[in-house]
């Protein structure tokens, strides 16, 4: 048998997603599926329609909660847990679907370069940092949804473009065009339909994801040391 007789391996039509990205996306989708089914009256229990409102009340975060903690010096476990749980609760299916779509597109690229635990760290720590920044406003608005964490992944994606050895001069700063475009779109929607202060959490999430990438990204602290030596 010659090499020509050996059948070629089938080519997958779509490159497989890294497992860590699939797990996070399924977690976001799974929570939303339960809340959406409850809102539609399934499984028919008397309180199912109120599941989303209850999830927001019990797991999302208001800015004035953080203000109260800082002023009183008390940090209830229930309030602290919200910094980790609010990304799982969305305002509706479309709200979740858009965040998940962006996460899948950017997260695939990031997870192919970052270690799986680094991707989780970027998402979680960006979500927490976004919540802290949002809390500094002291607003009574709710912060919910995965967007600050997704913007953290965008920050890591931007880092990869910015740190690309082939990027030089002004080309390095073109890496920031995506975050600029997203913020511009957000501004337009805010002017047309009104917007809350959650954009503060998203910007903080992006900055955190970008900053963490210097340590958690490929090369880690060695990249920083090498950069200092080159100077």
In contact, 99 and 147? CB cutoff 8 Å: yes
pLDDT over threshold 70, residue 161: yes
List alpha helices for the chain, DSSP H. Answer: 19-39, 51-59, 63-72, 77-85, 93-111, 116-135, 147-162, 170-173, 177-193, 198-216, 221-230
Split at pLDDT 50, 70, 90, the class of 228 is very low
CA end-to-end span of the chain, whole Å? 58
Q: Report the alpha-carbon distance of residue 123 to residue 143 in Å, rounded.
A: 16
Is the pLDDT higher at 170 or at 219? Answer: 219
Instruction: Determine the average pLDDT of the residues in 157-163.
Output: 89
In contact, 103 and 126? CB cutoff 8 Å: no
Closest CA to 129 of 66, 187, 77: 66
Q: Residue ranges per domain, the chain? A: 15-230
The 8 Å CB, 24+ separation contacts for 67-75 are 67/135, 67/138
Is the pLDDT higher at 100 or at 182? Answer: 100
Quick one: angle between helices 51-59 and 77-85, nearest 10? 120
Question: pTM for the whole thing?
Answer: 0.85
Burial class (CB in 10 A: 0-12, 13-18, 19+), 152: buried
Split at pLDDT 50, 70, 90, the class of 1 is very low
Identify the pLDDT of residue 66: 96
Q: Report the alpha-carbon distance of residue 104 to residue 108 in Å, rounded.
A: 6
Question: Does domain 15-230 sit in CATH 1.20.950.20?
Answer: no
């Amino acid at each position: 048998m010659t090499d020509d007789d050996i059948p070629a391996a089938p080519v997958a039509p779509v490159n497989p997603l890294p497992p860590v990205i699939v797990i996070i996306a399924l977690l976001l989708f799974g929570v939303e599926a339960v809340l959406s089914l409850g809102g539609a009256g399934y499984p028919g229990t008397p309180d199912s329609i109120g599941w989303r409102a209850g999830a927001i009340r019990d797991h999302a975060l208001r800015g004035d909660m953080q203000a109260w903690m800082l002023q009183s010096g008390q940090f209830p476990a229930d309030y602290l847990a919200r910094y980790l749980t609010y990304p799982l609760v969305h305002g509706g299916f479309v709200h979740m679907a858009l965040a998940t779509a962006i996460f899948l597109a950017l997260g695939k690229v990031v997870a192919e370069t970052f270690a799986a635990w680094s991707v989780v760290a970027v998402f979680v720590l960006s979500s927490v940092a976004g919540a802290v920044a949002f809390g500094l406003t002291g607003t009574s608005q709710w912060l919910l949804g995965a967007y600050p964490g997704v913007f953290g992944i965008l920050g890591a994606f931007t880092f990869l473009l910015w740190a690309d050895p082939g990027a030089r001069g002004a080309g390095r700063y073109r890496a920031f065009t995506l975050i600029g475009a997203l913020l511009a779109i957000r501004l337009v929607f805010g002017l047309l339909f009104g917007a809350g202060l959650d954009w503060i959490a998203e910007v903080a999430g992006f900055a955190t994801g970008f900053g963490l990438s210097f340590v958690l990204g490929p090369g880690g602290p060695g990249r920083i040391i090498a950069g200092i030596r080159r100077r």
